[in-house]
Amino acid sequence: MARFEDQLAAVEAQGSDAQGNDISSNGGEGFTRRGFLIGTMAGSAMMAFGLSGAAAAASDGSANNGSASESLAAGRYEPTIWYAIAPDGTVTVHITKAEMGQHVATSLARLVAEELEADWSSIEVVYVDSDPKWGYMVTGGSWSVHHSYLPLSRAGAAGRIALIEAGAKLLDVDPADCRARHGQVISGDKSVSYGEIVSQAGLERTFSEEELKEISLKPASERRVLGTKGTALDVPAKVNGEAIYGIDVTVDKMLYARPVLPPTRFGSKPVSIDDSAAKQIDGYRQTIELDDPSGVCQGWLAVIADSYSSAMRATDALKVEWQRGDSYDISEADIQEQGHTLVNSPSRDNGSLFVDIGDVSSGLEGASEVIDSTYTTSSVLHFQLEPVNATVFEEDGHWHVHCGNQQQTLAVGMLSKALQVDKSNITLHQYYLGGGFGRRLYGDYTIPAALAAKALGRPVKMLFTRPDDTRFDCVRSPSVQRLRSGLDGNGKVVASEHAAAAGWPSAAMAPAFLIEPVEDGGKVDSFAISGADHWYDVGAQRVWAQQNHKAHEVFVPGYLRSVGPGWTTWAVEQHIDELALAAGKDPARFRLELLNAEGRNAGQAPHSVGGAERLRAVLERAMAKADWDSRDSLPDDVGMGVALTFGQERSMPTWVACIARVKINRGDGSVDVEHLTAVADAGTLAHPDGAMAQLEGSLLWGLSMALYEGTEVEKGKPKALNLGAYTPLRMNQVPKMDLEFVDSDAMPVGLGEPGTTVVAPAIANAIQHAVGVRLRDMPMRAEALKAAL
Partner 1 sequence: MASFTLNGKPVSVEVSPQTPLLWVLRDNLGMTGTKFGCGIAQCGACTVHLNGSATRTCVLPVSAAEGGEVVTIEGLSDNDDHPLQQAWREHQVPQCGYCQSGQIMQAADFLSRTPDPSDEEVTEAMSGNLCRCMAYVRIHRAVKRAAEISQASEASTAGVGVFDPSRDQEVTHGQV
CB 146 within 8 A of CB 152: no
Q: Rule CB under 8 A: say whether 104 interacts with partner 1.
A: no
* Cα–Cα distance measured from residue 658 to residue 677, given in angstroms and rounded to the nearest whole number: 6
Q: Rule CB under 8 A: say whether 240 interacts with partner 1.
A: yes
Residue from 239, 252, 519, 605 in contact with partner 1 (CB under 8 A): 239
Residue type, 195: G
DSSP 619: H
- Strands (DSSP E) along 559-669, which ranges? 638-645, 655-665
Query: Judged by CB, which is closer to partner 1: 270, or 697?
Result: 697
Residues in binding contact with ligand FES, number by CB under 6 A: 3
Cβ-count burial of 646 within 10 angstroms (0-12 exposed, 13-18 middle, 19+ buried)?
Answer: buried
Distance in Å, CB of 608 to ligand FES, minimum: 31
Residue among 147, 151, 125 at smallest CA distance from 138: 147
Interface mask toward partner 1 for 678-717; x: CB under 8 A: ----------xxxxxx--xxx-xx--x-------------
Give the CA dihedral 690, 693, 695, 700, nearest 10 degrees: -160
Residue type, 251: V
Query: Judged by CB, which is closer to partner 1: 26, or 684?
Result: 684
Residue among 409, 443, 527 at smallest CA distance from 16: 409
Interface mask toward partner 1 for 333-362; x: CB under 8 A: ------------------------------
CB 108 within 8 A of CB 144: yes
Q: Rule CB under 6 A: say whether 565 interacts with ligand FES.
A: no
Q: Rule CB under 6 A: say whether 13 interacts with ligand FES.
A: no
Q: Rule CB under 8 A: say whether 633 interacts with partner 1.
A: no
State which of positions 718-777 bind partner 1 (CB under 8 A).
Answer: 722-724, 728-732, 734, 737-741, 743
Secondary structure element (H or E) that encloses residue 691, with its range: helix 688-703
Give which of partner 1, ligand FES, none residue 740 binds (C-beta under 5 to 8 Å, depending on kind).
partner 1
Query: Judged by CB, which is closer to partner 1: 280, or 323?
Result: 280
CA atoms within 13 A of residue 787's CA, in its CB half-sphere = 6
Distance in Å, CB of 310 to ligand FES, minimum: 18
Distance in Å, CB of 385 to ligand FES, minimum: 4
Query: Judged by CB, which is closer to partner 1: 242, or 636?
Result: 242
* Cα–Cα distance measured from residue 51 to residue 786, given in angstroms and rounded to the nearest whole number: 66
Q: Rule CB under 6 A: say whether 387 interacts with ligand FES.
A: no
Query: Judged by CB, which is closer to ligand FES: 126, or 385?
Result: 385
Query: Judged by CB, which is closer to ligand FES: 161, or 700?
Result: 700
Query: Judged by CB, which is closer to partner 1: 162, or 703?
Result: 703
Distance in Å, CB of 645 to ligand FES, minimum: 23
Phi/psi at 718 (5° precision): -65, 145
Interface mask toward partner 1 for 124-153; x: CB under 8 A: ------------------------------
Could you write out the three-class secondary structure of 719-776? CCCCECCECCCCHHHCCEEEEEECCCCCCCCCCCCCHHHHHHHHHHHHHHHHHCCCCC
Q: Are strands 351-357 and 284-289 parallel, antiparallel or unpaired?
A: unpaired
Give which of partner 1, ligand FES, none residue 139 binds (C-beta under 5 to 8 Å, depending on kind).
none
Query: Judged by CB, which is closer to partner 1: 565, or 735?
Result: 735
Residue from 435, 505, 702, 710 in contact with ligand FES (CB under 6 A): 435
Residue from 149, 207, 383, 442 in contact with partner 1 (CB under 8 A): 383
Distance in Å, CB of 624 to partner 1, minimum: 14
Give the CA dihedral 723, 729, 732, 737, nearest 10 degrees: -170
Q: Rule CB under 8 A: say whether 65 interacts with partner 1.
A: no
Q: Rule CB under 8 A: say whether 387 interacts with partner 1.
A: yes
Distances (CA, A) of 1 to 71, 496, 650: 39, 19, 8
Whether the CA torsion 71, 72, 76, 77 is positive or negative: it is positive
- Which residue is at the shortest CB distance from ligand FES? 385
Query: Judged by CB, which is closer to ligand FES: 96, or 102?
Result: 102
State which of positions 424-443 bind partner 1 (CB under 8 A).
Answer: 432-437
Give which of ligand FES, partner 1, none residue 282 binds (C-beta under 5 to 8 Å, depending on kind).
partner 1
Whether the CA torsion 48, 53, 59, 61 is positive or negative: it is positive
Distance in Å, CB of 729 to ligand FES, minimum: 12
Residues in binding contact with partner 1, number by CB under 8 A: 71
Distances (CA, A) of 120 to 92, 109, 160, 234: 11, 9, 14, 14
Q: Strand, helix or coil at 635?
A: coil
Give which of partner 1, ligand FES, none residue 318 binds (C-beta under 5 to 8 Å, depending on kind).
none
Secondary structure element (H or E) that encloses residue 41, with its range: strand 35-41
- Taking CB under 8 A as the binding criterion, the range among 177-185, 306-314, 359-367, 532-540 that sits at the site for partner 1 is 306-314
Q: Rule CB under 8 A: say whether 406 interacts with partner 1.
A: no
Distances (CA, A) of 541 to 348, 473, 528, 577, 777: 17, 35, 18, 17, 24
* Cα–Cα distance measured from residue 75 to residue 583, given in angstroms and rounded to the nearest whole number: 67
Q: Rule CB under 6 A: say whether 404 interacts with ligand FES.
A: no
Distance in Å, CB of 434 to ligand FES, minimum: 7
Residue type, 576: I
Query: Judged by CB, which is closer to partner 1: 383, or 399?
Result: 383
Residue from 466, 549, 675, 786 in contact with partner 1 (CB under 8 A): 466
* Cα–Cα distance measured from residue 307 to residue 283, given in angstroms and rounded to the nearest whole number: 7
Q: How far apart are the first and last CA of the chain?
A: 43
- Taking CB under 8 A as the binding criterion, the range among 35-43, 58-66, 175-183, 235-243 that sits at the site for partner 1 is 235-243
Phi/psi at 679 (5° precision): -125, 130
State which of positions 497-516 bind partner 1 (CB under 8 A).
Answer: none
Q: Rule CB under 6 A: say whether 244 interacts with ligand FES.
A: no
Give which of partner 1, ligand FES, none residue 243 binds (C-beta under 5 to 8 Å, depending on kind).
partner 1
Residue type, 644: L
Give which of partner 1, ligand FES, none residue 80 binds (C-beta under 5 to 8 Å, depending on kind).
none
Phi/psi at 155 (5° precision): -60, -40
Q: Strand, helix or coil at 609?
A: coil
* Cα–Cα distance measured from residue 533 to residue 651, given in angstroms and rounded to the nearest whole number: 11
Q: Rule CB under 6 A: say whether 752 interacts with ligand FES.
A: no
Q: Rule CB under 6 A: say whether 647 interacts with ligand FES.
A: no
- Strands (DSSP E) along 298-403, which ranges? 301-305, 319-323, 351-357, 369-377, 389-395, 398-403
Query: Judged by CB, which is closer to ligand FES: 104, or 330?
Result: 104
State which of positions 83-102 bind ligand FES (CB under 6 A).
Answer: 101
Give which of ligand FES, partner 1, none residue 284 binds (C-beta under 5 to 8 Å, depending on kind).
none
* Cα–Cα distance measured from residue 142 to residue 162, given in angstroms and rounded to the nearest whole number: 32
State which of positions 307-336 bind partner 1 (CB under 8 A).
Answer: 307-309, 312
Q: Applying CB under 6 A, which residues contact ligand FES? A: 101, 385, 435
